[in-house]
Each structure stands twice: as structure tokens, then as C-alpha cells.
Chains A and B, each alone.
Chain A
Amino acid sequence: MSDAPSGLRRKQRDPWPPLRPGIGAWWRDHLRIARETMHFVSARLGTSLVVWLLVGIALALPSGLLLLQVNLAKLTAGWEGRPGLTLYFELSASAEQVAAAAKVLEADEAVEHVVITSREQALEEFRAYTNLTDALDLLSDNPLPASLNAALRTGLDETALAGLVALAESRPGIKEVVLEKTWLERVNDISRVVSRLGIILGVLFGIGAVLVTATSVRLAIEARLDELRVQKLVGASDRQIRRPFLYFGAFYGIGGGLVAAMLLSLCLVVIEAPLTALLGSYGQQLDTAGFNPVFLVALLLVGAFLGVMGSLVAAAQRLRDLEIL
């Protein structure tokens, strides 16, 4: 075994060691490239602004839908209401049939309590809530059916609800069974639609952001072609040649994320007044859940990720086409 120090042995094996190996050189190279990239981006501010705007719009729409979904979910999270079941009877149904149906439903564990509204009560309520008293007097008979409203326990799943509806429909004298959903339940349904729409749009606009960045990076590659060739000539590695464009992508993506955050803020300012009024009518207060520092950082990171992806696509393809790599 040789007595030579390991450094010397390595030098003997390798006639061309890196001029400055190690983490320090790697770090300095990253700093240099970040500085040069910022200079390049700021020197072409017009182009950079357009890219930031395009990426920002691509990020803003799915992010906005995500915020909407988060807020809808929060709106319904503290809700204590519950669905109801309303049975409308035939006009010919007897009071005994109505009472029997009420008894059957009350016996079911899913039902909290039952309220019967007779034909006469329905007519009285109708008179009380409308101005059609004179018109009703002209009718020879009461046109309103008896009904039964069952308040259900919370947390019932679809199967339990379907079973309850089937049970009600099996009773004699029943004309129609309506499973009532409150407006908040509908909001939940809308929230699910928004969530899925957000995912679809997120994927589509994400691809859009990648393509926008890739196109911009391709232009940057063309603009720096001479420099890339010289860099290769003087010993830049493939990674070093590719690295500035990854920084381009990251800068474009982060810039796009900032633009998206600004667009969302603007949207919130614009819709704040009508939204406050709408929520107020349901006894709710405006609370833009989700639009917080974590969301903003995530927006910037997603932008940077998409930008770097676009850069990787463009750099790999274009630099190989130009025989730089």
C-alpha cells in the first residue's frame, strides 16, 4: 500500500481535478448565478412583467377556488341544523292515516320529533302568511293537504336517509315525501363542486404556467446562446449551464405567485361589501379563512415549483437541440 497522502494519490490518478472543489465553490456559483439571473430579469422588465402576469393569472384562479372552498367549508363547519323529512298526504287521507304515519316515524331512531300539520292548520297558516283570504273564500273546499314534518337526528348518512324515505313512502295516503336540505347543506354540495373544479382548473392552469415559463426560458436561452457556448468552452458543467435557467423559472414562478396573491387580494377587496351583506342575511360574518401567511408562502412555493418544472422542460429540450449539452 502506498504511503502517499490520499490527496496526493488522488492527484496522481486525476490529471484534471476541479480547480476549486467543495461546497464553498458550489455555494459561490449559486450566488453568482442568482445575481446574474436577477440582473437579466430586471434588464428585461417588460418581458418579465408579462410572464409574471400570465403565471399569476394561471395561479390566481385555482387558488381563488381553493380559498372559496376553504371558506365554504368553514361556513358550514359550526352548523347545528339538521335535515328534515316532510310527508304530504293525499287530500283524501284520513286523520288516522296521518297519525299512524306520525307514530311509525316517531318510533324510528333517526327521528327526533314529528310535527303534524292538519289540512285546517295548513289553511290557517296560508291565510296568515298571504293576502289571498278573499280568493280562498271563493273556493268550495280546502285545497291544502295535511302534512307531517319530521326533524331528523344529525349525522345520518345517505343510506339511513334513503331508508327513512322508503319507510315514509310505504305508508298509505302519502302523496309525496320530500327530504329537505337546508341551505347550508346545499353550500356543502357547492363546496364539493368548487373543490373538484379547483383541482381540474389547478391542473390545467398549472400546465399553462409551466408552458408559459418554458417558453420564456427558451427565449432566455436564445438570448444567451453565445455566452452558453463560451461557458461550455471554458469548463462549465452541464449543471452549471442549466442552472441559470432553473433560477429563471423559480424567479418567474415566485413573481407569478406574488401577482396571484395581489390579484386575490384585489378580488377580496372588490367583493367584500356584497359578500358581507350576503353572509349577514344568513347570520354569518365575513371571515376570509385561508388567506393567511401560510397560504401566501404556499402560493409562492407552488409558483416556484411550476417555474422550475417549466425551466427543466425548456432547458433539457432546447440546450440539447442547440448541442450545448
Chain B
Amino acid sequence: MAQIEFHHVSKRFENGQEALADLTAEFAEGSMTFLTGHSGAGKSTFLKLLLCLDLPTRGQILVNGINVTQMSAARLASYRQHLGAVFQDHHLLGHRSVYDNVALPLRISGMREKEIARRVRAALSRVSLLEKERQFPRYLSTGEQQRVGIARAVVTRPKILLADEPTGNLDPELSRDIMKLFEQFNQVGTTVIVASHDRDLIESMGRRIIELDKGAIVRDGLNFREQTEVQTDSV
């Protein structure tokens, strides 16, 4: 059974622009998938809908068999605590230290400080930033800021990790390091979906690639050369 299911999902904004058009896709538990496509293809909208930051105009989004578009506000908060999200612009809080930024989801969940400290340091250690826990994000490089964002996303040990253009501002070497991190999280069972327009990078990862164009899936396969044309209703 798929962990994440999009069933004929459409999203039309108030200005009439259609971000997703009757999209159907499934993602197995523990899988790693790259979403790609040109700017405006619908990658970010796809992730926002999965995070329930927006609602689809039509269709169903099922996670673990539950329609997440119809959940109560309280349940939605609980659902988001089990997701990890990484963004191109990091969404870090400038007035809080690296440690406090990473600790934020755990504090919101009401965890004890002792447990928080253990988990935060483990997460920072995974992204090789343990020695910078007292620094403020503005004093870090872009790559380091991105790694702080990743540490915050994984500190709750999420079942699903979503990343929207996580390597957008990074050089190729750093980008590869970041992707390797995602791969490591995937290897311990986390379902990972990464939106990226860097075709060379994602092809080199040898994972499933879904290409979007005008909100619809146009290709779905292991790499661009071997991808098959996708029919409207196929996965």
C-alpha cells in the first residue's frame, strides 16, 4: 500500500492559474522521489498541498490512508509534527541560535529539555554543525543555513521528509552533499520527496524522478533517458 496518494488532484488559484491539473501519483513508504520541472510546473504547489499549507481545488490527498485535506486544525498540527520540511530560503529564525532553531519543533511538541538537547545535538551532528550550535543563522554560509534547516526537519524523526529546491542557492559540490544527506535519511526508512530543477544532480542520484509540466505529470521513471511517457491516470 502506498504511503502517499494523490488522486486526481487539481489546484487552481484565484487568478485562474492552474498549478496542478488532475494529478494522480503514489509514493511508497520508505521511497525517495525527485519532483522536477520548469519554474511554475507545480512542484512547490505539490509539496504545499502535502503539507496542508493550502487546499486542493479538487481531488484527494491520502497519507497513510487518511484524507489530509479534511482534517481538523488540531489533527493537522499533529500531522505536521510527523513531517519534515526543508525550503530553499531555509525559513530559519534570525534572532534564535542554531540550537534554538533546531529545537523549535521539539519544544512545540512539549518535549523535556534534556531529551531536546540530546535530539538536537544528534541532528546537528548528522549535518556536521554541532560546533556551531550557539551561532546565529545570519553568521552561517548558505550551505550551513540549509543544513540547519535540514537538521530542524529531521529532529522529530519524521516519517516523511519534503524538500523544496533545497540546493537552489548552493554550488554543485554542496548540492551533492545535501542530496547525500537526504539519501541517508531515506536509508533509515524515511519517505523523501525532493523538488528540484537541477536535472543533472537528481539524475545522478539514480532514484525515481517525476517530471511536471503545467501541473501534470509528463514523465515518471528512474532517469530521464529511461523514463516512460505517463498516461493521464497512470502512476
Contact = CB atoms under 8 A, between A and B. Distances in A.
A192 interface: no
The residue in B63, B75, B107 that gathers the most chain A C-beta atoms within 10 A of its C-beta is: B107
B81 A226 contact: no
Chain B interface mostly: mixed
Interface string B79-111: 111110100000111000000000011111111
Contacts of B109: 18-20, 25, 235
B162 to A, nearest CB: 10
Chain A interface mostly: helix
Interface string A239-265: 010000000000000000000000000
Interface residues on B, range: 20 to 34
Contacts, number: 86
Contact of A29 (B78, B79, B81, B110): B110
Contacts of B169: none
Contacts of A240: 77, 108
B110 A233 contact: no
A233 B91 contact: yes
A227 B93 CA distance: 6
Contact of B152 (A24, A234, A325): A234
A20 B77 contact: no
B8 to A, nearest CB: 23
Interface residues of A, number: 27
Interface string A1-32: 00000000000000111111010111011001
Nearest to B71: A16
Nearest to B156: A19
A113 B64 CA distance: 95
A22 B79 CA distance: 17
A233 B73 CA distance: 13
14 contacts: A15-B64, A18-B78, A20-B110, A20-B111, A22-B110, A28-B111, A226-B91, A226-B93, A227-B93, A230-B91, A230-B104, A234-B156, A237-B74, A237-B78
